[in-house]
Amino acid sequence: MQKLPRMKEEEEPEEEEEEELGHAETYAEYMPMKLRIGLRHPDPVVETSSLSSVNPPDVWYRLSIPEETIDRGWLSALQLEAITYAAQQHETFLPNGDRAAYLIGDGAGVGKGRTIAGIIYENYLLGRKRSLWFSVSNDLKYDAERDLRDIRAKNIQVYSLNKISSKHNGSVKKGVIFATYSSLIGESQSGGKYKTRFKQLLHWCGDDFDGVIIFDECHKAKNVCPIGSSKPTKTGLAVLELQNKLPKARVVYASATGASEPRNMAYMNRLGIWGEGTPFKEFTNFIQAVERRGVGAMEIVAMDMKLRGMYIARQLSFTGVTFKIEEVPLTLDYIKMYNKSVHLWVRAREKFQQAANLMDAEQRMKKSMWGQFWSAHQRFFKYLCIASKVRRVVQLAREEVKNGKCVVIGLQSTGEARTLEALEEGGGELNDFVSTAKGVLQSLVEKHFPAPDRQKLFSLLGIDLSVKETPSPSETSTEQKGKKRRGTVHMHMKTTIAIEPEESSCVTSQDAVEDAQRMKRNLLEQLEQLAENLPPNTLDELIDELGGPDIVAEMTGRKGRVVSNDDGTISYESRSELDVPVEILNLTEKQRFMDGDKNIAIISEAASSGISLQADRRVKNQRRRVHMTLELPWSADRAIQQFGRTHRSNQVTAPEYVFLISELAGEQRFASIVAKRLESLGALTHGDRRATETRDLSRFNFDNKVRLDYTHQIRNGLIGVGLINVEDRSGVLSLEKDYNNIGKFLNRILGMEVHQQNALFQYFSDTLNAVIQNAKKSGRYDMGILDLGSGDEKVKKVDVKKFLTPGYSTSGHVELYTVNKLFEVNPRKRLFMVYRPNIGKQVKLETYADIKKRSKKVLSDDAKQHWIDQYNSSANVCSHAYWRGNCKKVSVGLQCEIGLRCRTYYVLCGSVLSVWTKVEGVLASVSGANVKIQIVRLRTEDGQRIVGMLSNKYIIIEQDREKRQILAPPSLFSPYS
């Protein structure tokens, strides 16, 4: 091809640079690398390709577990590997004197329970006969007993903490105490020997306790490090305190989602990543460094932990699992109902604002009111979004059961609170299924609308109105309630009331209160009119449509449900059954599903931790599971738990996943949250952020930092959802102060008319795509782990320097690789790709029209000399100099590699975390404070696999006579120039 004249010279290099590095494949098949005992795991297991490129430390610990357990496969090779490394890590101590901990990040279904049982068994055999096992639910105690039984550790008894009274504390001499995280913060009401369960446990363990403490599903102890104005959770603080009180304990953290965000690692203080003798003095220093450098930094943390022998993370292969996004079209009736709901909420916002002004409400009260308002707004439209998919999910579920499969439907919330409120209102009777959406708005108006009862208000202000009028019975009853809370309600009326309660002032104030009350009544009346069209409770409707409680297994946290009887009436019934205690109701329902008595199960978040619903070889019901998600969970923690219920070890068939997403533009926000959380979860928990990001869901990951330029066409819609404010007097428009908070924007647009939110969302998506393209071109876009040499290129190792970091074992060394990437031209594939004489095959496919715009067709003989010339010059002349005769960078003495057929890259590998502060210093001085870290993976010509941080060429390592450290700038020492 020959270059056309008049072409903009700058465009060519940009095209050449586009997506030069390919995305790394996400997973690699897993086998223990350095442990040679045990049988293969019953199912294929994988590890993220980035973690698989990191070698764990050598094994020197010898297990005491009986050979029969190993030879019979009661513990598989990969479970034995985790037990060995955990025991090995427990033999080391941190610089502050605490015993080091181990983190098991295995995904759902790999057999984490047996691994934990194996660690307890190993220590029991060595004389450490007391262990603590924390988990999220008391039901999981039965699973713990099963896991110990399965590995033939039958003599180890498991006791529930909530069944051990303080006076019997000494009667449990050995075994495992199983406790929930909530019981850890429980307090005694009877005032026994120990006021808290925490003290009871400490007493049982003793001062020099060196046994095992398991924090299973340890993401439940998250939020020790508060975000914004939130406070640390009591659970998280108790977990920290327990570790501090028992410094010699052998701690194991276990969860597939233990570190979905680096902030949630705050309770993992025994890993030794921060604190005394590390580059990070406090946890906050670690957090700031990692969050500033983006997802690449989290990937480094995971790889570093595996390198040091404190972390392992495998998960079941998703081979055979199918993912499908089912977009549900909206009916005209539904759109009509949705738009009416939008108008009602817009009116409600106006009335709340007017009433608050009439009442002269103080700022604190307004802030609380609006917090409740927007929270209810989001829940209301979330329920509407879910309701739009019920008909489709019922249809799909029936089809799948007919096809010989069984169905699991995942929900996050049950709406029980609204049902109980409606039941109380109706005096224990119901005429119809309860609308959860209606309940949300009704509860908001009744509890938070700024229209206090007039009699109660004046009673609080000390004004006697009994002379003027006789209050209604309802007002009298409210007044009685109000007296009990005198002094707790502060409502600033006009100052004239407090100073001189004259007739006219009282009338004015009474008018204001009456106006506000009238607005409140009007809103409730309008809600009643709309209620006829609002959808009923999703969970009740699903069970009813799918055949009722006799056909559907319900595993939720609610105590009762609304059912339709044979005579057509509707009634509320308790979920409890005569022969089944309430606490094991979910386990009973699970058994019915696994036995094939019921082929449809509905699970909520309450049931999604620890319950196994896969097509297990050991159960009767071996139909293929179809897992449908009506409501994508708020966080990846919950998503992984739910997805892991149906995809586990020892299954006959892998499940099918169906994500139902409606056409509502704003609803993609929920998919966006999960995609974002899965992205960072995969990064930290498995070392590669695309590990838990389904390819389909990543399309909906819109939660990026993009600022929007709002258009006038949808101004009123944006005003209606509070994203644009209108000054009362001047009518001047102003943006909400958090206008660039994309999360808030995507939540709020749910409250706009369907066509408006779709138009706005399309504009948002287009803007986002443009911003991402620009970010990629300027090198500011974080694309996760990338492959160097993913095409026809050759990667050659030029140099490697190893450096030991002070205070670390031999596993804590850092290596700086210098590699050359040589672009090669493959002459056989010339029809579908563009090849250039200097850099070979292009990643981006080009249309014939695009090629014609920039180039013209010539005969091979005419092109040959141009091709050879550019190929020869690209050995050391950049594209700018070749096409224009000069290059700005080169003219000022800098190096430019654009268009060169041989590039030099510097990759920093090994325990990068140990020299993080030095790397940070260089990065900040050379590239700016917020530059993202890019992780790359490559395989050299001689087959060596390298994963590490792509270093700026200005980061070089200088060997000092006394120590080795990372320094800059290159003028000091530059062996690669």
pLDDT at residue 973 tops 50:
no
What is the C-alpha radius of gyration for the chain, rounded to an integer number of angstroms?
Answer: 32
Angstrom distance (rounded) from CA 296 to CA 948: 10
* Band of pLDDT at residue 674, cut at 50, 70 and 90: low
Please state, as a whole number, how many other Cβ atoms lie within 10 Å of the Cβ of residue 6.
6
Mean pLDDT of 96-111: 89
Mean pLDDT of 283-300: 79
Angstrom distance (rounded) from CA 934 to CA 299: 10
**Helix (H), strand (E) at residue 919:** helix 916-927
pLDDT of residue 409: 92
Q: Please determine, looking at this structure, whether the domain spanning 322-343+360-442+534-700 carries the CATH number 3.40.50.300.
A: yes
**567-604, pLDDT tens digit by residue?**
777 777 777 777 776 667 888 889 999 999 999 999 88
What phi and psi, each to the nearest 5 degrees, are found at residue 630? Answer: -80, -30
Task: Report long-range pairs for 455-459 (Cβ below 8 Å, ≥24 apart).
Answer: 455/479, 455/482, 456/481, 456/482, 457/491, 457/493, 457/513, 458/506, 459/483, 459/486
Angstrom distance (rounded) from CA 80 to CA 59: 12
Mean pLDDT of 363-392: 88
Query: Lowest mean pLDDT: which of 266-280, 334-348, 414-428, 871-885?
Result: 414-428
221 versus 595: the higher-pLDDT residue is 595
Mean pLDDT of 677-702: 43
Mean pLDDT of 454-468: 52
Angstrom distance (rounded) from CA 273 to CA 279: 8
Angstrom distance (rounded) from CA 503 to CA 619: 79
Mean pLDDT of 518-522: 90
Angstrom distance (rounded) from CA 893 to CA 531: 73
Report which listed range, 166-170, 490-494, 870-874, is most confident: 870-874
Question: On the CB side of 718, how many CA atoms lie within 13 Å of its CA?
Answer: 23
**Domains in the chain: boundaries:** 2-22+784-967, 25-272, 322-343+360-442+534-700
Question: Is 702 in contact with 672 (CB distance < 8 Å)?
Answer: yes
Angstrom distance (rounded) from CA 148 to CA 150: 5
Cα of 629 vs its chain's centroid, Å? 16
- The burial class, CB within 10 Å (0-12 / 13-18 / 19+), for 792 is middle
β-strands 175-180, 130-135: how paired?
parallel
Residues in the chain, overall count: 977
Report DSSP letters for 340-363, one per residue: HHHHHHHHHHHHHHHHHHHTT--H
* Band of pLDDT at residue 709, cut at 50, 70 and 90: very low
pLDDT of residue 271: 92
pLDDT of residue 698: 44
Mean pLDDT of 709-720: 55
- At which residue do the structure tokens 């019981």 appear? 183
pLDDT at residue 351 tops 60:
yes
Question: Is 203 in contact with 169 (CB distance < 8 Å)?
Answer: yes
Q: CATH number of 25-272: 3.40.1280.10, 3.40.50.300, 3.10.20.740, 3.40.640.10?
A: 3.40.50.300
Query: Lowest mean pLDDT: which of 108-117, 267-276, 552-561?
Result: 552-561
Task: Report long-range pairs for 823-829 (Cβ below 8 Å, ≥24 apart).
Answer: 823/792, 823/793, 823/901, 823/902, 824/792, 824/793, 824/794, 825/792, 825/871, 826/792
506 versus 780: the higher-pLDDT residue is 780
Mean pLDDT of 632-659: 74
Q: Closest Cα partner for 609 from 557, 561, 574?
A: 557
**378-391, pLDDT tens digit by residue?**
889 888 888 899 99
366 versus 711: the higher-pLDDT residue is 366
Mean pLDDT of 225-248: 80
Mean pLDDT of 843-864: 72
Please write down the HEC assignment for all residues of 619-656: CCCCCCEEEEECCCCCCHHHHHHHHCCCCCCCECCCCE
**Could you give the residue ranges of the DSSP H alpha helices within 18-135?**
49-52, 67-71, 77-89, 112-125
Question: Is 542 in contact with 396 (CB distance < 8 Å)?
Answer: no
- The burial class, CB within 10 Å (0-12 / 13-18 / 19+), for 276 is exposed
Mean pLDDT of 673-689: 45
pLDDT at residue 615 tops 50:
yes
pLDDT of residue 716: 62
Looking at every residue in the chain, the average pLDDT score rounds to: 75
**Does this chain's domain 25-272 share its CATH topology with 322-343+360-442+534-700?**
yes
What phi and psi, each to the nearest 5 degrees, are found at residue 783? Answer: -110, 20
Question: Is 103 in contact with 258 (CB distance < 8 Å)?
Answer: yes
Mean pLDDT of 642-668: 79
pLDDT of residue 16: 38
567 versus 88: the higher-pLDDT residue is 88
Please state, as a whole number, how many other Cβ atoms lie within 10 Å of the Cβ of residue 265.
27
pLDDT at residue 686 tops 50:
no
* Band of pLDDT at residue 453, cut at 50, 70 and 90: low
**538-567, pLDDT tens digit by residue?**
888 899 899 988 999 988 878 777 887 777
pLDDT of residue 964: 45
* Band of pLDDT at residue 213, cut at 50, 70 and 90: very high
As given in the structure block, the two tokens for residue 618 are 């050991």
As given in the structure block, the two tokens for residue 622 are 């071996």
Angstrom distance (rounded) from CA 61 to CA 48: 26
Task: Report long-range pairs for 186-189 (Cβ below 8 Å, ≥24 apart).
Answer: 186/162
Three-state secondary structure call for residue 339: helix
Question: Is 854 in contact with 873 (CB distance < 8 Å)?
Answer: no
pLDDT at residue 967 tops 70:
no
Query: Lowest mean pLDDT: which of 118-132, 435-449, 723-737?
Result: 723-737
pLDDT at residue 771 tops 90:
no
* Band of pLDDT at residue 111, cut at 50, 70 and 90: confident
pLDDT of residue 419: 75
- At which residue do the structure tokens 């099963």 appear? 146
Amino acid identity of residue 11, one-letter, is E
* Band of pLDDT at residue 98, cut at 50, 70 and 90: very high
Q: How far apart are the first and last CA of the chain?
A: 34
Query: Lowest mean pLDDT: which of 53-57, 384-388, 664-668, 762-766?
Result: 664-668
Question: Is 882 in contact with 870 (CB distance < 8 Å)?
Answer: yes
Please write down the HEC assignment for all residues of 93-107: ECCCCCECCEEECCC
Angstrom distance (rounded) from CA 765 to CA 552: 40
Question: Is 372 in contact with 440 (CB distance < 8 Å)?
Answer: no
